[in-house]
Structure 1
Amino acid sequence: MHHQPLLVVLRHRQPSLLVPQLEQLRDLGVWHTEIAWGPGADWITQCQQLIAGFPELRLGAASICSEAALEAVLEAGFAYGVSPILDSRLLARSAAASFALVPGVMTPTEVNRARSLGCSIVKLFPASTVGLGYWQRLQDPLGAPLPFCIAAGGLKPSDVLPWLEAGVDAVALGASLAAGARGSAAAPSFATDPLRQLLAALPTRP
């Protein structure tokens, strides 16, 4: 994420139906993609097939809120995981499995708690609720260094550059990228032009 500070989050009850979207992301040059955990009986198998079928992408798992979800993600073989919550039990289990789990934080207390638990990366969620500049305002009261911050939740492609300029390290996008009708059985395609323009405008980092 230091090289491309963008993540795309995909969500569907049947992950196997996300193949067209993953193909779009691969062809556009997106590197980091998250697939939300789901309770489906064959979720693990479908995700294993996606991981094997898209070696060019660094696939992670999103929405990890329980030990059952974490165990499914570990079995599926994801490269990393992201949670909307800060749960010390999930972090301990992930550490025992040598698995990178990014916790969700919002308040100064949660940010400091994550830091004390050794989290080098956190997810600011929901970012749209706290607003642009929130992360920067935490710097002086909490003291540097703050963890690497991924802003997520309610953000659009047009928000990415302003949020990066305001001090976060990366931005995650989800539903705002969908171009098709929501609620259908098939996963909606992406509006590729905004995403292509965004990728071209992202800052180049060593």
Structure 2
Amino acid sequence: MMCDQKDNRNHNPENHEETESFRSTLADHPLVAVLRAETAEDAIEKADALIEAGITCIEVTFTVPNAGDVIQYLVKRKGCHVGAGTVVTAQQVQEAITAGARFLVSPGYSFDVDMAAKDANVPYIPGVLTPTDIMAALAQGHRLMKLFPANVLGPGYLRGLREPFPQVSFMPTGGISIADMNDWFAAGAVAVGMGGALTKGTADQVKCKAQEALAQLQR
């Protein structure tokens, strides 16, 4: 279990400065596009469409073939804040960091990923769902967490979690739509990760949906 795992190295509990910097980025860009695609070329084409629409915080998942190449491409894009998602091994941490990823996200918690991220001083956002998950992540020093899969229990569940865990900043991800995005912010989310609702379809469709999502966010 997470709470039973120990490490004798001198780690900053949550890469405090780097994580606070990323939290500040989320305050300015609270819509994180979670990029999944069948090929690296398709991912790059859709990422370009997202950026053209005005979304600059993009999470490239390791389910994308050659995800490191996609991250490396996006790092060179001016004003793009790019991270790696679906990070489940320490090897993927190294690949993501080598490519230039500025944050790491997992569907759950991995002690190995956590240690590798802390060694590299890169923000790591673990996935949580239950109060037990949250307490375990808190014990490892985390205060920014991904609520996943968010759509299973809805915004009311997030509102309920915030009462016993006011110190935690939640980024719900999974099944969030443009229509219900603002319900999550009203429930207390600091940011939302949006995947299929943004990135399915052609590049032109992705751009249109991203513009619609940003307009909804401004409301």
**Could you tell me the TM-score, scaled by structure 1's length?**
0.84
Rounded to whole Å, the distance in 2 between the matches of 1:27 and 1:45 is 20
CA distance in 2, matches of 1:105, 1:66: 17
The percentage of aligned residue pairs carrying the same residue is 25
- The CA deviation at 1:85 is 0.9
- Structure 2 residue 40 is the aligned partner of structure 1 residue 4: no
Match of 1:75 in 2: 98
Aligned to 2:80: 57
State the alpha-carbon separation in 1 of the partners of residues 111 and 211 from structure 2. Answer: 37
For 1:167 and 1:49, the matched residues in 2 are separated by 33
Q: Within the alignment, does 1:103 sit opposite 2:126 as a pair?
A: yes
* Secondary structure at the counterpart of residue 70 of structure 1: helix
Q: 154-163 or 191-200, which moves further after superposition? A: 191-200
Following superposition, the deviation at residue 45 of structure 1 comes to 3.8
Segments of 5+ residues of structure 2 without an aligned counterpart are: 1-25
C-alpha offsets along residues 128-154 of structure 1, whole Å, 9 cap, x if unaligned? 0121211211233x3432x21111011
The 5-angstrom pairing of residues 1-206 of structure 1 reads 1-38=26-63, 40=65, 42-52=66-76, 54-140=77-163, 142-145=164-167, 147-180=168-201, 188-189=202-203, 190-203=205-218
CA distance in 2 between partners of 1:191 and 1:49 (Å): 19
* CA–CA separation in structure 2 for the residues paired with 1:113 and 1:203: 35
Q: CA RMSD in A?
A: 2.1
The whole-number CA distance in structure 2 between the counterparts of 1:50 and 1:93 is 22
Is residue 35–residue 62 contact of structure 1 (8 Å, CA) maintained in 2?
Answer: yes
Contact (CA 8 Å) 2:46, 2:206: kept in 1 or not? Answer: no
Kindly state the Cα deviation for residue 87 of structure 1 after the two structures are TM-superposed.
1.6
1:78-131 Cα distance to aligned partner (Å, 9 max, x none): 111111011222112111110111100000011111122111211000000121
Shift of 1:21: 1.5
Is there any run of 5+ residues in structure 1 with no aligned partner, and where? 181-187
After superposition, the C-alpha distances for 1:36-88 in whole angstroms (9 at most, x for unaligned) are: 11485x54344323322x13210111100112222211221111111101122
SS at 2:188's partner residue? Answer: coil
